[in-house]
Amino acid sequence: MRQVLPFTVLILGLVSFFNDLASEMVVPLIPVLLATILAAGPVALGLVEGVADTVASLLKLWSGRHSDLIGGRRKGLTIIGYTISNLARPLIAVVGSWPVLLLVRSIDRMGKGIRTAPRDALLADSTPPERIGFAFGYQRAMDNGGAVLGALVAAAVLHFSGIPFEKVILLSAIPGAIAILLLGGGVHEVRRPPDHKTPTRISLNPHHLSPNIRRYLLTLSLFTLARATETFILLRAYQLGMNVVQVLLLWASIHAAKSSTGVGGGRLADQLGRRPVLFIGWLAYGCNYALFAMVESLPLLWAVALSYGLFFGFSEGAERAQINDLTTADERGTAFGWYNLATGISAIPAGLLFGWIWEEVGAPYAFGFSACIAIAAATLLATWVYRSTPWRPS
């Protein structure tokens, strides 16, 4: 029987699509903006993206917990978050220095921090348990699909119109507004039973989490230390001779690869369990970064980037679905907040360390370092995280 996702989940996917369309008209241009107009290097890029992601992650924990404490009413926080991002992001077009870029990018990611955990919990609230992996895989596929179109739109506008890329950044406000309108008019929250009692206090003490989820979040934090911002791939491409339009096409291709495997990976995680899908994805991440360390030509860079995208998209849905498996409905927002905190708390050291290694000894060593960390995290996932559970679901 063909699986069908709830209407709210389908609309949330479209919201992600248009929001990422707006975002990815901007994000792949940030390394070029830093390297040209703002005259900054890899360390500045790592600091901008690392601080922005960490700000987002800290807010995700607060917003997820707050959505639980107000009775699972998650839509309002989600709208606020998307609105902040789509008001701040176009301002990147007018920044005059990299510290100002850091501030504007942090406000953009602040919006992401407010919306992400409530949105993920809202998606999980609206989905039958047996389709959770499918739902998150679909959401990530739509997210990456929007990234593909965003980069392609930016590349087309730059190539055919000849306008400066700062004006392309301003145009990102249009799909951002569409995302907000879709969210406001098309998403409906799940009604709680009349006798449901909203928790009045939800602990943020990590020791109150189950042992499995604590081990999972610690290992995820280690893996995130390897997962430095993907804009470093674009910076490497730019250094190897790609022009701005080609960089945008590379970015679009990476996200197209992610989108093509997102739904299939989510469905496979429902059938086989999250652990094998995550292990394959994380191990492939490490292997692809090891290959990035050896890349010295653009054709090989293209090949490795596409392989990276395919395997990354394959495991994205399982990564989020695993959080849903390890929590209850009343604490779902808080659990997704902890997940997002874990994936972001390492963002500043990851970005700075990657950028510092790049500047001190070269890009191959930075990619090689990340490869080693990712493979270590995959090994911990396989041997330590689920010590008392089988690889396959019963």
Domain boundaries, the chain: 1-187, 209-393
How far is Cα 224 from Cα 214, in angstroms, rounded to an integer?
15
Cβ neighbours for 379, distance < 8 A, ≥ 6 positions apart: none
State yes or no: pLDDT of 33 exceeds 90. Answer: no
- Report whether 61 contacts 340 (CB < 8 A): yes
pLDDT of residue 394: 43
Distances (CA, A) of 394 to 32, 189, 272, 382: 49, 31, 9, 18
State yes or no: pLDDT of 231 exceeds 90. Answer: no
Q: At 1, is the pLDDT very low, low, confident or very high (cuts 50, 70, 90)?
A: very low
**CA-wise closest residue to 116 among 132, 139, 149:** 139
State yes or no: pLDDT of 272 exceeds 50. Answer: yes
Q: What percent of the chain has pLDDT over 70?
A: 89
How far is Cα 275 from Cα 321, in angstroms, rounded to an integer?
11
Q: At 202, is the pLDDT very low, low, confident or very high (cuts 50, 70, 90)?
A: low
Alpha carbon 6 to its chain's center: 23
More confident residue, 332 or 150: 150
How far is Cα 337 from Cα 296, in angstroms, rounded to an integer?
39
State yes or no: pLDDT of 377 exceeds 80. Answer: yes
CB atoms inside a 10 Å sphere around CB 171: 18
How far is Cα 365 from Cα 309, in angstroms, rounded to an integer?
21
- Report whether 12 contacts 148 (CB < 8 A): no
Q: At 203, is the pLDDT very low, low, confident or very high (cuts 50, 70, 90)?
A: low
CA count, 13 A, side-chain hemisphere, 338: 25
- Report whether 176 contacts 18 (CB < 8 A): yes
Mean pLDDT of the chain: 83
How far is Cα 108 from Cα 90, in angstroms, rounded to an integer?
9
Q: At 204, is the pLDDT very low, low, confident or very high (cuts 50, 70, 90)?
A: low
**CA-wise closest residue to 124 among 204, 210, 64:** 64
Mean pLDDT of 223-242: 85
- Where do runs of H (alpha helix) occur along 173-297? 173-186, 211-226, 231-239, 244-272, 274-292
pLDDT of residue 329: 65
pLDDT of residue 378: 92
Mean pLDDT of 262-288: 89
* Structure-block tokens of residue 30: 């940030």
CA count, 13 A, side-chain hemisphere, 378: 21
Mean pLDDT of 351-378: 91
State yes or no: pLDDT of 336 exceeds 80. Answer: no
* Structure-block tokens of residue 312: 């990354």
CATH number assigned to the domain covering 209-393: 1.20.1250.20
Mean pLDDT of 287-298: 93
Identical fold between 1-187 and 209-393: yes
pLDDT of residue 133: 85
* Structure-block tokens of residue 302: 């293209």
More confident residue, 337 or 191: 337
How far is Cα 126 from Cα 133, in angstroms, rounded to an integer?
13
CATH number assigned to the domain covering 1-187: 1.20.1250.20
pLDDT of residue 309: 92
- Mean pLDDT lowest among 87-101, 141-155, 208-222, 306-320: 208-222
Q: At 21, is the pLDDT very low, low, confident or very high (cuts 50, 70, 90)?
A: very high
